[in-house]
């Protein structure tokens, strides 16, 4: 991809912990389009940034997302980097989920990101450059109890990203999935309100600063995926090679939720 000195970077879920650290690394020569649910929180976090446009948006509103993408292209003529970061989890037994909860999680974690990709990828293809970064999860590779819906949304996003990467490869457009394990952010406020899961996985919990630094380093680079930490990346390989044994470990030793 041709290097662009002044990039236009759009980040969803911009008020999340990983995004906050990532935005600190982006130089002022880039223009940031920062998308979040709360205008107040966006302004509190980024109101002082002269190189940022703050957009309060329901990313599950298809028409609003299309209007946003159109407006960015009308104003800047391009999006160089798209970071789909928005997402959340609820952990509980599979039969305990209401269908409304399932739809909501798929709408935010999967369909909204696919919609942004759909609207941006074709334009990147026409321009012959661009980088789509989908922040997914190791849960999209390795199943664990009580994460049935969250894992399903992430498995789907990995499958979509892998296919999109193939379609875009000949057109100078890169597609990368970022698959972190547990990250010490506000993500767990909803996913793990009593903090018990965070305590059980503390040994391999990542800091948002480290995750953001690794993501920023691959901006504009032809990187297929980024799995972290190393121990969970190795777990994924073990899971692929020895699925039945991995299921036993997941049921008996790693059922930490």
Task: Compute the radius of gyration of the chain from its Cα atoms.
Answer: 18
Return the number of other C-beta atoms located less than 10 Å from residue 207's C-beta: 14
174 is annotated as an active-site residue? no
Best CA proximity match to 133, nearest among 37, 222, 8 = 222
Set 150, 160, 174, 239: catalytic member: 150
Long-range contacts from 19-28, C-beta under 8 angstroms, 24+ separation: 19/83, 19/85, 19/212, 20/45, 20/208, 21/208, 21/209, 21/211, 21/212, 21/213, 22/83, 22/85, 22/212, 22/215, 22/216, 23/49, 23/52, 24/212, 25/212, 25/213, 25/216, 26/216
DSSP assigned state of 167: H
Catalytic positions, written as ranges: 150
């Amino acid at each position: 991809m041709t290097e662009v000195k002044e990039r236009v970077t759009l980040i969803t879920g911009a008020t999340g912990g990983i995004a906050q650290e990532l935005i600190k690394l982006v130089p002022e020569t880039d223009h940031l389009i920062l998308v979040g649910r709360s205008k107040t929180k966006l302004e509190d976090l980024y109101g002082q940034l002269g190189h940022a446009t703050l957009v309060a948006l329901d990313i599950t509103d298809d028409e609003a997302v299309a209007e946003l993408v159109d407006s960015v292209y009308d104003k800047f003529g391009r999006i160089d980097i798209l970071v789909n970061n928005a997402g959340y989890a609820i952990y509980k037994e599979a039969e305990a989920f209401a269908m409304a909860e399932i739809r909501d999680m798929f709408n935010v974690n999967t369909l909204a990101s696919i919609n942004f990709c759909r609207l941006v990828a074709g334009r990147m293809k026409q321009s012959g450059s661009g980088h789509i970064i989908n922040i997914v999860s190791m849960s999209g590779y390795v199943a664990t109890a009580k994460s049935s819906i969250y894992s399903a949304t992430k498995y789907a996003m990995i499958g979509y990203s892998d296919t999109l990467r193939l379609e875009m490869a000949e057109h100078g457009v890169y597609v990368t999935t970022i698959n972190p394990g547990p990250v010490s952010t506000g993500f767990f406020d909803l996913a793990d309100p009593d903090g018990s899961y965070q305590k059980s996985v503390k040994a391999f919990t990542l800091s948002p600063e480290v995750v953001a630094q690794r993501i920023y380093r691959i901006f504009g680079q032809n990187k297929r995926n980024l799995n972290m930490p190393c121990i969970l990346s190795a777990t994924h390989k073990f899971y692929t090679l020895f699925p039945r044994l991995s299921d036993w470990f997941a049921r008996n030793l790693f059922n930490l939720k």
